[in-house]
Amino acid sequence: MQIMITHGSMARTRVLHLSRWQVVAGGALLAALLMLLSGAVYHFVFLKAAREGWPVVSQVVRLVVRDEIAQRDRFMRENLDAIAQRVGEMQAKLVKLEAMGERVIGLAGVKPEELKPLQRAEGGGRGGPYVPLVQPSLEQLRQVVEGFDQAADENTDVFTLMESRLLQSRLAALMVPSSAPVTVAAGSGFGFRTDPFTGRPALHTGLDFPGDTGTPIHAAAGGIVIVKAWHPAYGNVVEIDHGNGLVTRYAHCHSIDVELGALVRRGQKIASLGNTGRSTGPHLHFEVLVDGVPQDPARFLAGAPARVGEFARRPQARR
């Protein structure tokens, strides 16, 4: 292909020689530019006109893409209906979860006034029939999901409080001496009896467990060893502090397996049964003291639940 360029100011005519591939490349480049131009016009003019509702252009665009818009609207509606169904199922499950939480709150010992800060601003009771969403709008779904998010946060706080209370109750149970220190039957109980050495009436301040020398002695509850010593009357003696002014004493031991200041758990072996101190034979003398005053150990070993509640409510004793 030859292109001749002439002009009055030019001394001679210029001739451009174009090969076949140059012509094809130029045509392809021109077609690409036209496509880009048409896409830009469609995006910035026609779509904007359709969104903003221009009088004439928007109607033309809607006629051209009517089927596409209808298909897109139908797809969005089907998805919204499916989401609404799932939201309804979640709403029903959340209602059941709230009802279950109210029952567990009572079991955990949480008082109603402790939950007042979590109550919603509108106050009052909540309930009524469950009415699922029918063909909801996107805004309605957004509001429902925001409500779920708020309810989930409230339930998380409530269950965290319940977990704390249940853990507190469990720890209180572990700190009350309700587990027998040895696996033998009890002998002499708490109260007045004839002293085996003097023959006179005297107060027996603990519970005796007669057995063979070397029988393992276990901690009746978790705590800290505050005494590991020799006593003229008690012989080898161990005392464990369980908090709230509650202390257990294990006397006449043959040997002691824990150190002073050690943290022991319920059921841990702390000593072995013996016949040391003021004793007539191998046995364990077990005492429970509250604020330094001896108590009947049988009340703790036989009535663990009641004693747990009592000492959980006691203020922390000051040392």
Per the domain annotation, does 180 fall within a domain?
A: no
Residues 80 and 60 in one domain: no
Backbone angles phi, psi at 139, to 5 degrees: -65, -40
pLDDT surpasses 50 at 305: no
Stretch among 66-75, 203-212, 292-301 having the lowest mean pLDDT = 66-75
Stretch among 82-96, 174-188, 203-217 having the lowest mean pLDDT = 82-96
pLDDT reported for residue 145: 75
pLDDT in tens, 240-277: 999 888 999 999 999 999 999 999 999 999 999 999 99
Average pLDDT of span 15-23: 73
Instruction: Round the CA-based radius of gyration of the chain to a whole number and report it.
Output: 44
pLDDT reported for residue 234: 96
Residues 197 and 302 in one domain: yes
User: Which residue, 152, 56, 158, is CA-closest to 108?
Assistant: 158
Residues 217 and 281 in one domain: yes
Per the domain annotation, does 182 fall within a domain?
A: no
Contacting residues for 88 by C-beta, under 8 A, at least 6 apart: 132, 133
pLDDT tier at 44 (50, 70, 90 boundaries)?
low
Q: Please, what is the Cα angle at 74 between 73 and 77, to 5 degrees?
A: 85
Residues 45 and 107 in one domain: no
Per the domain annotation, does 319 fall within a domain?
A: no
Residues 78 and 47 in one domain: no
Residues 206 and 112 in one domain: no
Residues 303 and 220 in one domain: yes
Residues 217 and 262 in one domain: yes
Helix H or strand E segment including 24: helix 20-41
Whole-number mean pLDDT of the chain? 77
Per the domain annotation, does 126 fall within a domain?
A: no
pLDDT tier at 150 (50, 70, 90 boundaries)?
confident
Which of 25, 46, 64 is a domain's end point?
64
Residue 256 vs residue 301, higher pLDDT: 256
pLDDT tier at 279 (50, 70, 90 boundaries)?
very high
pLDDT reported for residue 164: 72
Q: Are 241 and 291 in contact (CB under 8 A)?
A: no
Per the domain annotation, does 184 fall within a domain?
A: no
DSSP character for 43? I
Stretch among 50-54, 206-210, 223-227, 252-256 having the lowest mean pLDDT = 50-54
Number of compact structural domains in the chain: 3
Q: Are 212 and 195 in contact (CB under 8 A)?
A: no
pLDDT reported for residue 28: 87
pLDDT surpasses 50 at 316: no
pLDDT reported for residue 278: 93
Residues 59 and 98 in one domain: no
Residues 48 and 114 in one domain: no
Per the domain annotation, does 29 fall within a domain?
A: yes
Per the domain annotation, does 318 fall within a domain?
A: no
pLDDT tier at 216 (50, 70, 90 boundaries)?
very high
Average pLDDT of span 204-209: 93
Contacting residues for 179 by C-beta, under 8 A, at least 6 apart: 218, 219, 220, 221, 266, 267, 301
Could you tell me where the beta strands, DSSP code E, fall in 144-257? 191-194, 201-204, 207-210, 216-218, 223-231, 235-243, 246-256
Per the domain annotation, does 268 fall within a domain?
A: yes
Domain limits for position 145: 67-121+135-174
Residues 156 and 211 in one domain: no
Average pLDDT of span 178-188: 90
Residues 239 and 270 in one domain: yes
